[in-house]
Amino acid sequence: MKAGWRCSRRRVARLMRTAGLRAKAVRGYRGKAGIRARFAQHPNRLWETAIDRANRVWVGDITYLRVREGWRYLAIVMDRYSRRILAWTLTRRRTTRETCHVLALALKRRRPPRDLIFHSDRGTEYTSAAFCTFVAAHGVRQSVSVRGPEDNAHMESFFHSLKAELTRGTPLVTDRQLRAMLDTYLRYYNARRAHSALGYQSPVAFEHRAA
């Protein structure tokens, strides 16, 4: 599409079969039963917010990645408007300290206005008293999912792409190797990877054109 060539999905599938190519896929997410009733007191501000500019709504989430020594936890902050990855951390533990740290990195780099909304799922790393206090202290309004993963669909989609394009089928040995791969991929994702929802532009190009 970006090059101006239009074709159907069936033609793409046929050409891939001819070339011996097969698309990567990862397992879908299964929501937890009863989570809405348990956390109904937390607001979902996305239902009432027009996301019409950068630094209006950021979203965050954590996913698992495996190396030889065990699981590692990747925490991400993304600008919902442009899909740009603003900050990330890779750690051995999944804690509130890390979610505060990755959000602090994004705040330092972008210096958003005081009406910024930060949206996440209902993991304890995002709903703990320490994280809520940190968010409020920086003038950020907190928002959390109510219905399930679809409320944080941009982050779920990003993690799906990352695992399908980068880590699935690739044996990772060390933290250093994983960090290097993540750094390269995230630079590519921000600066070069085309998104259909952005008019087949990269997040960086989309932000520049919008500005």
**Residue-wise pLDDT tens digits, 168-182:** 888 888 999 999 999
- Helix crossing, 175-191 with 153-162: angle to 10°? 120
* pLDDT at residue 37 tops 50: no
Q: How confident is the model at residue 38 (pLDDT cuts 50, 70, 90)?
A: very low
Q: What is the DSSP string of 54-114?
A: TTSEEEEEEEEEEETTEEEEEEEEEETTT--EEEEEEESS--HHHHHHHHHHHHHHH---T
pLDDT in tens, 103-127: 999 999 999 998 899 999 989 999 9
* Residue 21 lies inside a defined structural domain of this protein: no
Q: How confident is the model at residue 10 (pLDDT cuts 50, 70, 90)?
A: confident
* Residue 23 lies inside a defined structural domain of this protein: no
pLDDT in tens, 49-96: 899 999 999 999 999 999 988 999 999 999 999 999 999 999 999 999
Considering only CA atoms, give the Rg of the chain.
Answer: 18
* Residue 147 lies inside a defined structural domain of this protein: yes
* Residue 11 lies inside a defined structural domain of this protein: no
* The most confident of 23-37, 49-63, 143-157, by mean pLDDT: 49-63
* pLDDT at residue 148 tops 70: no
Q: In which domain, by residue range, is 61 found?
A: 38-210
Give residue 81's Cα distance to chain centre: 12
At a CB cut-off of 8 Å and minimum separation 6, what does 7 contact? none
* Residue 49 lies inside a defined structural domain of this protein: yes
Q: What is the DSSP string of 127-166?
A: HSHHHHHHHHHTTPEEEE-SS-GGGGHHHHHHHHHHIIII
What's the pLDDT at 186?
97
Task: Specify the CATH number for the domain of residue 129.
Answer: 3.30.420.10
* pLDDT at residue 194 tops 60: yes
* Residue 109 lies inside a defined structural domain of this protein: yes
Higher pLDDT among residues 129 and 38, named by residue: 129
Gap between the Cα atoms of 36 and 211, Å rounded: 38
**Total number of domains in the chain:** 1
* Residue 16 lies inside a defined structural domain of this protein: no
| pTM confidence score | 0.79
What's the pLDDT at 31?
52
* pLDDT at residue 25 tops 70: no
